[in-house]
Amino acid sequence: MKTLITGGAGFIGGHLAKRLVAAGHTLHLVDNFARGVADAELEALQKQPNVRFFKKDVLEPAALDAFDNDYDYVFHLAAIIGVSNVLKRPYAVLGDNVTMLLSLLSFAKRQTKLKRFVFASTSEVYAGLLENFTLPIPTPESVALGLPDLKHPRTSYMLSKIYGEALCHQSGLPFTLVRPHNFYGPRMGLSHVVPELLKRAYAAKDGDSLEVFSVDHRRTFCFIDDAVAMLELAATSEKTLNETLNLGTEAPEVTIGELAQKIVDIVGRKLTLVPKPATPGSPARRCPDMKKTAALTGYRSQVSLEDGIRRTFDWYRANVFDGNATSAI
C-alpha cells in the first residue's frame, strides 16, 4: 500500500505515519515545517526503508506535480491552524486552507488506484450550532451545521473546513471525512491546553498558584494513540467509505479546572488553581457522540485520561522540559 500524508511532520501526521509504517504502508510524507519540527522521532521515522520525506508547501501550484499516480491512500492533514493565526490572519486561514484542499483533490483525481481520500475536518464545525441554536451533547455527526457571525475572525477556520467537507462530497472521489476532537499526547505543540498546563505545573514550586482559563468549560480528550488507531480504521474500512466520522473520546467529560487538577496531581505539585476568564471564542462544551465511529470501525478509545496525561508528561519531561528537544509551537 502506497500512502501520502500532507502535514506528515506534524502531531497527528507523525503519529499516524508510525502506525502506518508498522502496518506495511510505503509512506511519502509532505510538510513545509510551518509547525512541525524535525525532532529525533521524526528522524527515526525517516530512516525506515519504506518512508520518504518531502519538504514541500502544498500551497505552491506545482508542489505535487512530480509525484506518482499510484497512491492507494491520501491523507490531507495539512492546514493553517492555531488561535493566533485565526485571529491575526483570518483571510489567509480561509483562503489558503481551501487552496490546499483543491490542490490535493486535483492530485487525488489523477491517482489510478486510489482507495480513499481522507480529509481532516474539525470539531469546530459544530461551533455555530452551539452559539446560535441547541447543540446536543454528546454531538452526533448527523446534526445540521449552523454558522456563527461571518465577520468574526475565528469563523474563518471552521468555514474553511465546512467548505472542504462540501468539496469532498462533490469531488467524485472515494473519501472519508473525520472531525477530530481534542487530541493530545507527545509531540503536540506547547500552545495546546494539556502540554501547556503540564509545562507550567512542572515549572512551579509547591505553594505556587496556577492560573487556569476557561475553568468551567467542558471537554473530552482523546490520547493520540487512540486517535490514529481510529484514523487508520476510518481510512481502510469499507464501511466508512464516503462517511463523516467524529474522532475522539465520549467520556469522561471534564471541566478545564478538573483537567488542571489532574495535571497538577500527576506532575506531583501542590498548587492553588486560580480561575481566569474564558478564552474568547472558546466553546463552553465539546463532546463527540462516538456511536457511529465505533459501529463502523469497531474501535473505541482505550487510554484513560489519567494514563494519557501521564504518558504525555513523561515524554515532555524527558524530551523537552528536562531535555534539549524542540517542541512544536
Alpha carbon distance 22, 20 (integer Å): 5
Q: For the chain, count helices (H), then strands (E).
A: 11, 14
How does residue 119 score in pLDDT terms, banded at 50, 70 and 90?
Answer: very high
Residue 8 DSSP code? T
CATH superfamily of 2-188+222-248+286-304: NAD(P)-binding Rossmann-like Domain (3.40.50.720)
CA atoms within 13 A on the CB side of 85: 17
- Average pLDDT of the chain is 94
pTM: 0.95
The 10s digit of each residue's pLDDT in 47-75 is 999 999 999 999 999 999 999 999 999 99
Q: Which alpha helices (DSSP H) does the chain contain, by range?
A: 11-22, 40-46, 83-88, 90-109, 127-132, 155-170, 193-203, 224-236, 256-267, 291-297, 305-316
CA distance 67 to 130: 41
- Between CA 55 and CA 176 the distance in angstroms is 26
Task: Summarize the confidence of residues 168-180 as an average pLDDT.
Answer: 98
The arithmetic mean of pLDDT across residues 260-279, rounded, is 96
Confidence check: pLDDT of 280 > 90: no
pLDDT of residue 328 exceeding 70: no
DSSP 149-171: -TTSTTHHHHHHHHHHHHHHHHS
For residues 272-284, average pLDDT: 90
DSSP string, 286-304: E-B--HHHHHHH-----S-
Residue pLDDT, tens place only, 84-94? 778 889 999 99
Give pLDDT, residue 6.
98
